[in-house]
Amino acid sequence: GPVDPLMLAAETALLVDLESGEVLYEKNTENPMKIASLVKIMTAVVALEHSDLQKNITVSAHAAAIGENTMGITEGEIYTLEELLYGLILNSGNDAAYAIAEGVSGTSDKFVLWMNIKANELGLYNTFFADPSGLDDSTRSTAADLVRLSRYAMKNPDFRTIVKTNNVNLISETH
């Protein structure tokens, strides 16, 4: 089909059918680029693989104070990992990202180490994570690595359920 001219203007672009993994369009997919909220895919993957959806996580002062896109959690509140994952994906919640990282591994630094170990395991050799949220500009990846990560994430039924809910919400909001 026709390719959106806006996409052609992009520095790097990749259009993928996540169900089949088929690449529909690509441009400069090996160029390192900032990936912002796509970091949250890896945060979700690592959390799901290291913890249980029903695990209770208490929000720290640090997690509650993380700015920009937030789920709106408050210090001392307790959520299940599942609830925080919805906040992470649906609200692109940076506060949820830190609460998850701390709740699953003890510290955000340790969690980021796990993210980078997982990236290496998956062969994402052009990817580096600096934080669990994507706010840190030193995080880097490529479109090609992000496809590998997305396809891997979509194999996890819990991840798929959360992402599907996101799509349902987007549809209901626009009508």
The one catalytic residue among 92, 105, 133, 141: 92
SS3 of 175, please? coil
In the residue annotation, 138 being an active-site residue is answered as no
* CA dist., res. 58 & res. 75, Å (int): 8
DSSP letter at 4?
P
Active site residue 40: yes
DSSP string, 119-147: HHHTT-TT-B-SSSSS-STT-BB-HHHHH
Identify the active-site residue in 20, 27, 34, 37.
37
* Measured distance CA(21)–CA(86) in Å, rounded: 24
Q: Which of 20, 27, 34, 40 is catalytic?
A: 40
Is 92 marked active-site? yes
Please give the positions annotated as active site: 37, 40, 92
